[in-house]
Structure 1
Amino acid sequence: MDKTYIDWIESLKQKIKSAQLKASIAVNEEMIRLYWDIGKSIVEKQESFAWGSKVVEQLAKDLKRDLPDTNGFSRTNLFAMRKFYSFFKESELIHQAGGQVRIGDFSESSSIVQQDVGQIENTGSNLNNPIVQQAVGQLTPNSVLCKIPWGHHIVILNKTQSIKEAQFYIQQTIQNNWSRSVLEMQLASKLIERQGKAQNNFELTLPKPQSDLARETLKDPFKFDFLTLEVNVQELELERKLTENITQFLLELGKGFAFVGRQYPLQVGNKERRLDLLFYHIKMHCYVVIDLKMGEFEPEYAGKMNYYLSAIDKLLKTEQDNPSVGIILCKSKDTLEVEYALQDMNKPMGISEFTFSELPQLIQRNMPSVEELENELNKLT
């Protein structure tokens, strides 16, 4: 096949995928509005006629009988619709636009778009359907509530206690294109309590809006629960494990981080310095140096990071890049000591703690060391 044909078919494939994606998003919006309207109707009927929960069970049976080919109206799902409306009915999210959502944010196989599509298609998107007609005008398609799938809403409703908390996870889901399983993981790790909480000097060293973006990028603590390590693990071993599990590591760091290298060499004069971990942040348009420390934070760590950032800005940074940012990850830290250490530093940096799953002491004592394993392997060869 000649290049003209190949380019043409590639272009058509992209158009088809884009159209399918737009259709999936539109159907999702319609379904969320339908579920909102049904939840609203249930609440109003129960309040007006003092109907109890039995009416929901009866409604599920009648809908299944009358619409046997339509899924999504089980007893459990109807109660979820009722909860959905009751939880958000006085929230500003009803009218808050989800204008930040763009088709380009999603891939054609994106789970956030397609995870519930099978259910959506079966609910019937035909506007002549009387159930769909009830939903028209009740919840605007542009509402942020319409921008994530129903399955994500159920997870958020079951795991959050306030509108503020729910809003945080809805916005994070949209911005980061989280699948349902990733959303569940972020809820379990209490991301809302960690994001933007690290001590830093960004307001003093970075212009807005980069300082705000850098602050929101950092968590405290970072949770590396995908690793199970000995309590006294050394820094080089932790680096190796993190880079071996780079997908989970990048997920915990957050959207925008691109891995550049581990033990990245920098030639400064006649000496070679090595950075623990080097990243480039696509949104902040800057290099990010991560220094891992297995013990408690010490003030000299900030001075060393200041030196690294000066070297990066001199050797790697281009005119298109923003000032490089440093992140010092420690096993523990004293808040006041960190505050003093950052006070007069002229390079942007943040200090956070990190956690990982620790091997039980009994298992640690009975596990062979690396040297013992190597000796046994040598005997076999």
Structure 2
Amino acid sequence: MEPGKSYLNNIKALKSAILQSRYRAATLVNKELLTLYFAVGKFISVKVKEEKWGAKVLENLSNDLQNELPRLRGFSATNMKRMRLFFESWEEHSLISPTLSVQLQAIELEVITFRPTVSDQIENSFFNLSFSHHLEIILNTKSLDEKAYYINKARSEFWSLSTLKNHLNNQTFQKTGKLPNNFSKTISNDEIRQKALQTFKDEYLLDFINIEDADENDERVLESEIVHNVKKFLMSLGSDFAFIGNQYRLIVEEEEYFLDLLFFNRQLQCLVVFELKTGKFKPEYMGKMNFYLSALDEYIKQPHEQPSIGIILCKEKNNKVVEFSFRDFNKAMGVSTYKTSKVLPPAYKGLLPDVETLKKLMD
């Protein structure tokens, strides 16, 4: 006898309650852990400033803690330095809680509270990220706005640590919303327009691409590398993109046309075309893209979907040339650039310490 619909609904309801409970429990555990690390960070920060604690003291402290609590994890000397960094990076934005006793002999684990202007930005996200997520954000951001952006994005889109690192490396915060585009004229829905502006970036880091010098002008090689590493490319694009295919075939009046890369974006509810250009942007690319988008909207787009968007991804661009090229086209388009390496140009080498030197300075 098969279970009835009512019984299956009961199972679904119980399963949902269990999963919600697990999520809430994990969130509470994470909040307690962050509160503890924040408090320990303050304790160490004060001791370093007032009693000149150094690396040796922290090593001895870590060893003694291990002796007192044999199964203790997460309190190595290195991790306690990170706790200090965690506290000091948020010190000016917090209301200095948890507090320490006057004699600094006890640590009171009170709830971390932020100044009202800061709390409005990160209130619902701060305690939902792991300590490792917070460290990556602290080490790779400068302003409060940038920290808040990555904290909120990582929480709302459930970024893994590797995904967060990818977005930090790609400088997503700096590049989001800076894409040269014609969305203001071509996307009438205000909500969709704002989402589109936040979805596409001015520049994409494709450091997973391996193109030999002999092939660097071959667009098919670039396309092949992206398709071969499509998961990493999707991470570079951001959330809600689904890959449909490359060299996607369109037939218009018995003639074939092929789109380099075709995606669907769930948040924008539209098809997105990426046309790849290994050289500098040229105005004539717009006409071809406008044609592709018209054909997609006519033959491929579903009735409930929004009009398609096209992104020309090229090696270089002149923003004024792009601006003039957009005029008089009625399809939503943008022009982004890509780079395949994070290596500094030769002219900038030597101006900054290398990674190992920076690590020693932090220690």
The normalised TM-score by structure 1 is: 0.74
Q: What is the alpha-carbon root mean square deviation over aligned residues?
A: 3.1
Superposed counterparts of 1:165-204, under 5 Å: 165-204=146-185
Partners of 2:264 and 2:94 lie apart in 1 by: 36
The answer to whether the Cα contact below 8 Å between 1:297 and 1:334 also exists between their aligned partners in 2 is yes
Cross-structure match for 1:363: none
Partners of 2:273 and 2:48 lie apart in 1 by: 57
Cross-structure match for 1:221: 203
- TM superposition shift of 1:267: 2.3
Partners of 1:94 and 1:296 lie apart in 2 by: 52
1:154 matched to 2:135? The reply is: yes
Q: Which runs of 5+ in 1 are unaligned?
A: 96-130, 359-381
Question: For the structure 1 residues 53 and 145, does the alpha-carbon distance in structure 2 shift closer, same or farther, using more than 3 Å as the test?
Answer: farther
Question: For the structure 1 residues 46 and 143, does the alpha-carbon distance in structure 2 shift closer, same or farther, using more than 3 Å as the test?
Answer: farther
Question: For the structure 1 residues 90 and 302, does the alpha-carbon distance in structure 2 shift closer, same or farther, using more than 3 Å as the test?
Answer: same
- TM superposition shift of 1:2: 4.8
Partners of 2:278 and 2:96 lie apart in 1 by: 46
Q: Aligned with 1:22: secondary structure?
A: helix
Task: Choose from 118, 122, 135 the match for 2:109.
Answer: 135
Partners of 2:9 and 2:209 lie apart in 1 by: 44
Q: Which runs of 5+ in 2 are unaligned?
A: 98-105, 115-121, 343-363
Query: Residues 216-251 of structure 1, C-alpha deviation per residue, up to 9 Å, x if partnerless?
Result: 221232222112013434223322322222111111
- TM superposition shift of 1:282: 0.3
Partners of 2:304 and 2:179 lie apart in 1 by: 27
Superposed counterparts of 1:70-85, under 5 Å: 70-85=72-87
1:60 matched to 2:62? The reply is: yes
The normalised TM-score by structure 2 is: 0.77
The answer to whether the Cα contact below 8 Å between 1:93 and 1:145 also exists between their aligned partners in 2 is no
Cross-structure match for 2:310: 326
Task: Choose from 254, 257, 273 the match for 2:257.
Answer: 273
Query: Residues 43-92 of structure 1, C-alpha deviation per residue, up to 9 Å, x if partnerless?
Result: 45666xx2222465554344333333332222222222222111112227
Higher relative contact order (CA closer than 8 Å, sequence separation 6+): 1
Task: Choose from 317, 320, 336 the match for 1:352.
Answer: 336
The answer to whether the Cα contact below 8 Å between 2:94 and 2:112 also exists between their aligned partners in 1 is no
Superposed counterparts of 1:1-381, under 5 Å: 2=2, 16-44=18-46, 50-54=50-54, 56-57=58-59, 59-91=61-93, 134-139=108-113, 144-206=125-187, 207-231=189-213, 232-233=215-216, 234-356=218-340
Partners of 1:92 and 1:135 lie apart in 2 by: 15
The answer to whether the Cα contact below 8 Å between 2:310 and 2:334 also exists between their aligned partners in 1 is yes
Partners of 1:43 and 1:331 lie apart in 2 by: 46
Partners of 1:7 and 1:167 lie apart in 2 by: 39
Question: For the structure 1 residues 324 and 142, does the alpha-carbon distance in structure 2 shift closer, same or farther, using more than 3 Å as the test?
Answer: same
User: Mean Cα displacement is larger for which, 32-41 or 300-309?
Assistant: 32-41
Partners of 1:196 and 1:135 lie apart in 2 by: 40
Partners of 1:94 and 1:286 lie apart in 2 by: 46
Aligned length: 321
Amino acid at match of 1:138: I
Identical-pair percentage: 38
Partners of 1:309 and 1:208 lie apart in 2 by: 20
Q: Aligned with 2:267: secondary structure?
A: coil
Question: For the structure 1 residues 144 and 250, does the alpha-carbon distance in structure 2 shift closer, same or farther, using more than 3 Å as the test?
Answer: same
